[in-house]
Amino acid sequence: MKSITINGSKRERVGKAATKALRNAGKVPCVIYGGEKKLHFSANELSFSKLVYTADAHTVVIVFEDGNKIDAVLQDIQFHPVSDKILHIDFFQLHEGKEINMIIPVKVQGAAPGVKDSGGLLSRNKRKLTIRALPKNLPDFLLANISTLNLNDSITVADLSEETFKILHPDDQVVCQVKLSRASMSIEEDVEDEELEEGEEGEGEGEGAEGAEGAEGAKPAAEGGSDGKKPEGGYDRKKPEGGYDRKKPEGGYDGKKPEGGGEAKSEG
């Protein structure tokens, strides 16, 4: 793995006031863990640009004013929420013969046939993986060769494993895969819809023809059962002989007023 050298100055004082003074001077307060005791130091903010603002992984050689050197890796970094300036960095000291966990970037190599020939889309499921290895075996990156990937093919963690380090993820976890693009999926759906519509039209035409034939066949049947013509001489709607008896009953209708008239007298 590539290494970056940083010149550091050991800190004699710690605390909010000392930390604020360092930041005002353009320096970053740092701590190294993993040794006999944690070590506080500071370094110029610009010296971290190649370490922080890059996708590559590096080890760090911290050189102090007294000539002492410490090999380490970046463990944690804090940024200002507004200005995005580096506020604090934690390092972990490396020891020869002692394994360490480190996040390593994944790079892809080649051109997938499923993308260039079949209109697929390369999906990057994992761009970084955590590995465990001795400091001397730490890789700069993990390489995923996609030159043989067709549609629906994928590369898993197991495909990237090597004897010199252990990837701390399940072997079947997908790192990258070639999937059908949305445009291709849309085209396929349109074709399926067209085929479906053609099938429905064919069925509808058959049903319509059968229905028409059925309607035509039903017409003569109606004619045979009841031809709809009036009977000879028409319908017999004559009045009975002597007409309808609408005479008043003998004595007429009893519509006489009651005796004494219909006046309603009020008592008292």
Handedness of CA 67, 73, 79, 84 (dihedral sign): positive
Handedness of CA 145, 146, 147, 153 (dihedral sign): positive
- Each residue's pLDDT, cut to its tens digit, for the chain (268 residues) gives 888 999 999 998 888 999 999 999 999 999 999 998 999 999 999 999 888 888 788 899 999 999 999 999 999 999 999 998 999 999 999 999 999 999 999 999 999 999 999 889 999 999 999 999 999 999 999 999 999 999 999 999 999 999 999 999 999 999 999 998 776 556 555 555 555 555 555 555 555 545 545 545 444 444 444 455 555 655 555 555 655 555 555 555 555 554 555 444 444 4
The answer to whether residues 137 and 165 touch, using CB atoms and an 8 Å cutoff, is yes
Give the integer Cα–Cα distance in Å for 43 and 72. Answer: 15
Give the integer Cα–Cα distance in Å for 57 and 101. Answer: 12
Residue 148, SS3 per DSSP = coil
Give the DSSP letter of residue 230: P
Tokens of 66: 């007294």
Write down all domains in the chain, each with its CATH number in brackets. Answer: 3-94 (2.40.240.10), 101-183 (2.170.120.20)
Q: How many CB atoms lie within 10 A of CB 50?
A: 14
Give the integer Cα–Cα distance in Å for 19 and 83. Answer: 17
Tokens of 29: 């307060």
Residue 104, SS3 per DSSP = strand
